[in-house]
Structure 1
């Protein structure tokens, strides 16, 4: 990564406003290189490209200046929209040496082609230049002031400004000329993004370090720090994220790598239509095998966006988050007290006090001499000459000295820089659902915005002629729909977005229309009822007709039939119509599957082995789940196992999971109790 300069030679001593380059190989950064002028930098880059080609390594080089001008300028200047022709134009017209160049004069000549007052502005030389305004006061621009990407990159500067704080206009002119020569020198070996496919051994990309890198550590030049951190960040960027960020349409103006393009969001590939297919010969599927198959075959189906950290609670991270700075950023004190250097043996000690103090946010500006102490408050950066702090309660203090007893170890009551997390390390991994504690961590390491998954949208449909809405007057044989309110609430508690698609009668065309609408609105569809093989089981029938239906006969009670399929590339979970079975199948199968579809991690519910307060004999062959609750350290089971007893779901606080084998449970025997909380309810 290269921090460029459009000015003259800055001398042999490393300084800001020169050229800084950092190379990262295999995730490790070399020391930043200082180059005092463009002649040296061009030759250094040429040697780098030659060396990497001889080593048969691919090379990405980022430069911190725009690769193109706002739309219309290229054609007006060079007669074509091709920005690389503009590079060649500047290479032919720029006169550059370490001590002088003609960039201001050339800008004035260009301006005179367009009326004499723009697009370039700021003459920093002592003499006037025809056509080049000294300030923006008389500036008139026949072209857009900014590129499209600069409207998104808050704080970026226009490429028309040639001098002054933050100006990049001179860098563009001088940089384009150098890059044009490098492209000619390494013909057919360099691809320029986003103008060309990255199919060459060397890639040139545009970067903007200030958008991603925090303040430099004390004593390090900002530009050197920034190129190092940008190089490390790019080297560690997940492949999927980098692929998304390279998928940019900006054929004339160019683009800054890492800035999201408006209205261009990445979507993961759809699930294969056969992702639910069972291996040949499988009839009854054990619960653990069914869960393993789901875990292996599912992938995220949600797109990505960026969210401010303060608004990201409950969202799923779409990429790893790297600490922008260490926490703590500097060595500091953990207590109120007095600071000094070194350890002290057993016995009495008296130290003189220096004037002043160190406090959080108000560091001491000076050095504490050896053998002296300073007043220091919790959180304060340790002054120079201080590495140990003694509690104020252990000190007798006067205006000019303190007395205390040893022993005291060196480093006592202090915190090292980065002892929590080191800048550049991964703080949180992709797939994590962000918690309030995570928001504190992200803020502490300087992260203000994160890439997150869009919330998973889950459509819920109830099916059956017998169902009516609560509050309606039931006819003979009709019942109120209990599943849909329950499932919508469960979806919401899981952190997803519920979409109520209503209740659909046992009519194929009505159900087909409902599934069509749900597929347009949602990422996942949950249906209840119609998942078996009866005459009115239209969910199974329609999914079968679509060529994407699998009826998993799972060895589980309650539940068993679970229809899994695809409707217009949207996964469908066909749940049993019985409310108890619908809840159990949702918790055991649909919940972890939807977590993966949402971009999160597959997570088993946390269960606890606790003594039973009930008796139960169970035959081998299938997994059973009992409605249960915890009282006085023992697990009570609901009196009836009837799957129509909805009151048992409300009575319960979780489920007892009974393994596939036979059990003869007596009071006091251990059973696995899984609280509803462990399922996310």
Structure 2
């Protein structure tokens, strides 16, 4: 059970999601640039995939009823991928390749490893079942079906699926713009020398990675010094530039923790202290209508929260 004044985790998550910023702007990008983006519309299958029955292997298309013991079957056609085949002549087989369309009249494909080629034709050296090694029309996608729903984040497999439907450009939601503010006079950017009492700012890069991975656009990264007015000015400026502001540090009860105080004075504070450890002093509020999520300064707490 949560201690008094500590918000249970599930309640905090519900509150955060209810107040989360919503992006309504839509933009169109090339399919090659869609990785990580969020679809802004439903995608329905425009045509069956595959568009016709085709061979799943390199081999020979034939009718099972034409197999008679050790009698060779003559080869009457060769069907490369990308060509429309003529109907299969009765009593014959057709050389066929992976992805090639099955000729009318054939009901099976025997892989070439199970075939002996002779001067008189082919000898099948395996049991044959009707339909074997045939990928049926519409087996992957059926025309009119919902392939991808609005709100789906595009991963490599979604890119391939869209490509298989002939989609070249994709309507996606604009990226959520996020500002990252790190607090503390002790923070130094990597690459610069450390002075007495200073540490490198690792939280900025942790948050940049997490946000980029989530498909967000980081529009501002700054370090806040431990001054109340400077904190207020930078928070207000960040709120004007972003859909969401995330801070690290400055949300606990220390004399130099100004983020929570500024939220209370210049905006609103609707959540403070969650029943988790590490990460208890999480704060959430808004400035000028822009949500502000205040995380603790400890790097482990930043990852957790």
TM-score normalised by L of structure 1? 0.41
Report the Cα offset of residue 526 of structure 1: 0.9
Q: Deviations over 1:273-303 (max 9, x none)?
A: xxxxxxxx97222223323443455363362
Q: Deviations over 1:137-167 (max 9, x none)?
A: xxxxxxxxxxxxxxxxxxxxxxxxxxxxxxx
Query: 3-state SS of the aligned residue for 1:556?
Result: coil
Q: d(CA) in 1 for partners of 2:166 and 2:200?
A: 52
Equivalent residue in structure 2 for 1:458, among 171, 178, 186: 178
Q: d(CA) in 1 for partners of 2:270 and 2:232?
A: 18
Q: Which residue of 1 aligns with 2:154?
A: 434
The answer to whether the aligner puts 1:417 opposite 2:137 as a matched pair is yes
Q: Which residue of 2 aligns with 1:631?
A: none
Report the Cα offset of residue 575 of structure 1: 0.8
Q: Deviations over 1:299-318 (max 9, x none)?
A: 63362211111221222222
* Distance change (3 Å), C-alpha of 1:282 and 1:307: farther
Report the Cα offset of residue 371 of structure 1: 2.5
Equivalent residue in structure 1 for 2:59, among 316, 319, 337: 337
Q: Which residue of 2 aligns with 1:367?
A: 87
Report the Cα offset of residue 344 of structure 1: 6.5
Q: Which residue of 2 aligns with 1:123?
A: none
Q: d(CA) in 2 for partners of 1:424 and 1:448?
A: 19
The answer to whether the aligner puts 1:357 opposite 2:83 as a matched pair is no
Report the Cα offset of residue 330 of structure 1: 1.0
Query: 3-state SS of the aligned residue for 2:172?
Result: strand
The answer to whether the aligner puts 1:383 opposite 2:103 as a matched pair is yes
Asked whether the 8 Å contact 1:396–1:403 carries over to 2, the reply is yes
Unaligned runs of 5+ in 1: 1-280, 586-681
Asked whether the 8 Å contact 1:323–1:446 carries over to 2, the reply is no
Asked whether the 8 Å contact 2:267–2:287 carries over to 1, the reply is no
Which one has a larger percent helix, Structure 1 or Structure 2? 1
Higher relative contact order at CA 8 Å, sep ≥6: structure 1 or structure 2? Answer: 2
Report the Cα offset of residue 326 of structure 1: 2.0
Q: d(CA) in 2 for partners of 1:481 and 1:555?
A: 26
The answer to whether the aligner puts 1:505 opposite 2:229 as a matched pair is no
Q: d(CA) in 1 for partners of 2:300 and 2:204?
A: 13
Q: d(CA) in 2 for partners of 1:436 and 1:565?
A: 36
* Distance change (3 Å), C-alpha of 1:574 and 1:444: same
TM-score normalised by L of structure 2? 0.86
* Distance change (3 Å), C-alpha of 1:517 and 1:472: farther
* Distance change (3 Å), C-alpha of 1:352 and 1:459: same
Query: 3-state SS of the aligned residue for 1:557?
Result: coil
Asked whether the 8 Å contact 1:342–1:411 carries over to 2, the reply is no
Asked whether the 8 Å contact 1:339–1:375 carries over to 2, the reply is yes
After TM superposition, the structure 1 = structure 2 runs for residues 100-499 of structure 1, keeping only pairs within 5 Å, are: 283-298=5-20, 300-301=22-23, 303-342=25-64, 347-354=69-76, 356-364=77-85, 366-398=86-118, 401-405=121-125, 407-469=127-189, 471=192, 474=195, 479-499=199-219
* Distance change (3 Å), C-alpha of 1:467 and 1:393: closer
Q: Report which stretch shifted further, 309-318 or 480-489.
A: 480-489
Query: 3-state SS of the aligned residue for 1:315?
Result: coil
Q: d(CA) in 1 for partners of 2:209 and 2:97?
A: 49
Asked whether the 8 Å contact 1:302–1:523 carries over to 2, the reply is no
Superposition RMSD in Å: 2.7
Kindly name which structure, 1 or 2, has the bigger radius of gyration based on alpha carbons: 1
Unaligned runs of 5+ in 2: none
Report the Cα offset of residue 421 of structure 1: 1.2
- Structure 1 runs (4+) deviating above 4 angstroms are 342-346, 477-480
Report the Cα offset of residue 527 of structure 1: 0.7
Q: d(CA) in 1 for partners of 2:229 and 2:258?
A: 9
Query: 3-state SS of the aligned residue for 2:291?
Result: strand
Q: d(CA) in 2 for partners of 1:343 and 1:320?
A: 45
Q: d(CA) in 1 for partners of 2:5 and 2:97?
A: 70
Report the Cα offset of residue 340 of structure 1: 2.0
Q: Deviations over 1:306-364 (max 9, x none)?
A: 1111221222222222222222111101112211234567843433332x311111232
Asked whether the 8 Å contact 1:343–1:408 carries over to 2, the reply is no
Query: 3-state SS of the aligned residue for 1:541?
Result: helix
